[in-house]
Structure 1
Amino acid sequence: MPRVADHDQRRAQIARAFQRLLAADGFAAVSFSRVATGAGCSVGLIQHYFPDKDALLRFAYDDAVSRLGERVRVRVRNGEAARLPVAEVLLDSLVELLPLDAERDVEYRVRQGLQAQALHHPGLAEVARRAGRDLLGYVTAVIGDGVGRGEVDAGVDTGLAARVILATVQGLADQLVLSGADAFPARDALGQVVAAVFTGNRAVRDR
């Protein structure tokens, strides 16, 4: 019996070869022929799954965002199962956005590279808006949960606090890539900003 192709796996294989090239060499250096070499397939196979570069860009962007989101969800599930304070769960999950290892460094570079393209690409802009909206909604909801549990002051503007925290995450990520992951304790820096919102939680503030 002939082997049935795993189309989802092949799409992911191609998209991740594209991501590695984008992270290593920048957007302008990426071509279907180089992606084919990196993915170990033919240009024709890539065109079978992605009729043009725009389709590949959108899928690759969505794939990077989805993998990041899954790791955040795992962190949240583990933290909730361990009955950690809300602030600590938030901090552990947001650390996944920082390029602290090779995998997260590639994802950061892919997100940044494709987000820049999204300024002039409606399909990528849609992915960027959805990812940003989902992340903002998550952080805002966690802060709201903190209000309910007494970890956050009732007068805090949860949406504004979420934006400040996310802006800090982005700034730290940029600094890590420019100065190196060992240049400063990024998790501790982020922890201070989270602790400034979760003023009732000493577990994060004092460690």
Structure 2
Amino acid sequence: MPRTADHDSRRAQITAGVRDLALSSGLGAVTIAGTARAAGISVGLVQHYYDSKESLLADTLGRLLSGIEARVDRAIALAERDHARIEHMLGAGLLELLPLSPAHRDETYLRHAFAGLALDNPTLAEHQLAFDRRLRDRITQAVRNGMECGEVTPETDSLLEGEAALALTQGLAMRLLFDRDDSARSRARAAIATRMASVFVGPCARESR
């Protein structure tokens, strides 16, 4: 176990170097040598863990997306502990996908930079697609859970709502990369809240207990 943990820690250090380099100079500037400098280690050590730039980028993207998902999970869990409606749990999770803080902005920038590379890289594309599918499926399940508790009407198409909510959130995230005005962030929050309210229209059964 310690050896596995050590290896994972080293990979995290290396991929953090990729992120730092990409944020300062763009993904196109990422090289094995540049990553080694950014991570403060030798080129040979980077090559020990990654046999190519492609494998390095793929792991960096995978870790980036996993970190975002973990943060979404935490936001939803926190809302659930507060006994929030499913509407608000889902809304809290979706807000974590927006660049509403400097750290989240960096993540959003990297996500979209990787998306550009993924257009011509099947490995990166699969990471992006799998991430989107997982998010869509989670939104879809939240809508179905809403049906069970009464927040969502039975005739609602849960898969369609999953696609729509994800598309809205991703579109807002991209827009906020270019528009940094406080009013734009406020409108983005309101757009998600409005979308959630239009889907979760009823009272939850537990609210009447």
TM (norm. structure 2) is 0.89
Alignment partner of 2:66: what SS?
A: helix
Which digits, 9 at most, give the CA deviation of each residue in 1:45-69, with x for residues without a partner? 1111111101001100100010011
Partner AA of 1:197 in structure 2 = V
Question: Residue 189 of structure 2 aligns with which residue?
Answer: 187
Which digits, 9 at most, give the CA deviation of each residue in 1:163-185, with x for residues without a partner? 11111111111111101152420
Question: Residue 199 of structure 1 aligns with which residue?
Answer: 201
Question: Residue 78 of structure 1 aligns with which residue?
Answer: 78
Question: Residue 31 of structure 1 aligns with which residue?
Answer: 31
- Matching of residue 150 in structure 1 with residue 146 in structure 2: no
Which digits, 9 at most, give the CA deviation of each residue in 1:105-137, with x for residues without a partner? 121122111122222222112211211111110
Q: 1:32 offset after TM fit, Å?
A: 2.0
Partner AA of 1:98 in structure 2 = L
Alignment partner of 1:6: what SS?
A: helix
Partner AA of 1:73 in structure 2 = D
Q: 1:29 offset after TM fit, Å?
A: 1.8
- Structure 2: how far apart are the matches of 1:181 and 1:99? 12
Question: Residue 205 of structure 1 aligns with which residue?
Answer: none
CA distance 1:179–1:144, change in 2 (3 Å): same
- Structure 2: how far apart are the matches of 1:37 and 1:161? 45
Q: Is the 8 A contact 1:98 1:108 kept in 2?
A: yes
Q: 1:187 offset after TM fit, Å?
A: 1.5
Q: Is the 8 A contact 1:75 1:92 kept in 2?
A: yes
- Unmatched 5+ stretches in structure 2: 205-209
CA distance 1:67–1:157, change in 2 (3 Å): same
Partner AA of 1:193 in structure 2 = R
Partner AA of 2:198 in structure 1 = A
Which digits, 9 at most, give the CA deviation of each residue in 1:133-165, with x for residues without a partner? 111100000011111111111111111111111
Q: 1:201 offset after TM fit, Å?
A: 5.5
What RMSD in Å do the two structures reach over aligned CA positions? 1.9
After TM superposition, where is structure 1 displaced by more than 4 Å over at least 4 residues in a row? Answer: none
Question: Residue 58 of structure 1 aligns with which residue?
Answer: 58
CA distance 1:30–1:64, change in 2 (3 Å): same
Q: 1:25 offset after TM fit, Å?
A: 2.5
Partner AA of 1:67 in structure 2 = G
- Structure 1: how far apart are the matches of 2:181 and 2:86? 26
Question: Residue 207 of structure 2 aligns with which residue?
Answer: none
- Structure 2: how far apart are the matches of 1:123 and 1:88? 34
Which digits, 9 at most, give the CA deviation of each residue in 1:171-207, with x for residues without a partner? 11111110115242021221111111112259xxxxx
Question: Residue 106 of structure 1 aligns with which residue?
Answer: 106
Q: 1:34 offset after TM fit, Å?
A: 2.1
